[in-house]
């Protein structure tokens, strides 16, 4: 049995209003989802990863200037040159070894090694001063 609905202005208006409400709700959901995806993408873009295992090491928001600049180039006593970037924190690093002032690149700061917390690759150094100021100097070629 087939029932035919009669089109009346009332019926048409009800359908239109229902569709309009549905559309507005759907559009709001879509807008919210787009904003969430934008935030997620922005957060992913800010991440700095270990080159060797893709572990999250730090983020662009942790970049700091030390002695007036973020990027430094130093050569160690073995003649190996490193270009490092300075970061206020690096939660993806573990600090290893006893702090030393030997051959420090930053006057007044002792250092120990910073390793990737996942694959244990050498990523740089953790620096700390007697005033409890600390930062990470990470090898830029070991980060992506």
Span 23-46, pLDDT tens digits: 777 778 878 887 888 777 766 679
**Are 41 and 69 within one domain?**
no
Running DSSP on this structure, what letter comes out for residue 62?
A: G
Could you give the 3-state DSSP secondary structure of residue 5? Answer: coil
User: What percentage of the chain carries pLDDT values higher than 70?
Assistant: 87
**Are 79 and 121 within one domain?**
yes
- Tell me if 2 is assigned to some domain: no
**Are 55 and 41 within one domain?**
no
Across 9-16, average pLDDT = 65
- Please tell me the total count of domains within the chain: 2
Using the predicted structure, report yes or no on whether residue 89 has a pLDDT greater than 50.
yes
Tokens of 93: 């690093």
**Are 96 and 123 within one domain?**
yes
Across 117-130, average pLDDT = 98
Give the range of the structural domain holding residue 131, as residue numbers without chain letter.
50-142
For 144, how many CA atoms within 13 A lie in the half-sphere containing its CB? 6
**Are 87 and 27 within one domain?**
no
**Are 75 and 93 within one domain?**
yes
**Are 38 and 105 within one domain?**
no
Q: Given the structure tokens 């007044």, which residue do they identify? A: 108
**Are 108 and 67 within one domain?**
yes
């Amino acid at each position: 049995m087939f029932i035919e609905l009669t089109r009346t202005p009332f019926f048409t208006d009800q359908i239109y209003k229902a569709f309009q409400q549905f559309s507005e709700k759907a559009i709001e959901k879509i807008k919210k989802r787009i904003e969430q995806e934008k935030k997620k993408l922005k957060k992913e873009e800010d991440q700095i990863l270990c080159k060797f295992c893709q572990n999250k090491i730090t983020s662009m928001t942790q970049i700091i200037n030390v002695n007036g600049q973020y990027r430094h180039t130093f050569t160690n006593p073995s003649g190996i040159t490193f270009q490092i970037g300075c970061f206020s924190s690096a939660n993806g690093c573990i600090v290893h070894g006893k702090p030393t002032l030997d051959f420090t690149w930053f006057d007044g700061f002792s250092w120990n090694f910073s390793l990737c917390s996942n694959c244990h690759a050498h990523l740089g150094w953790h620096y700390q001063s007697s005033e409890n100021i600390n930062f990470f100097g990470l090898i830029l070629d070991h980060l992506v």
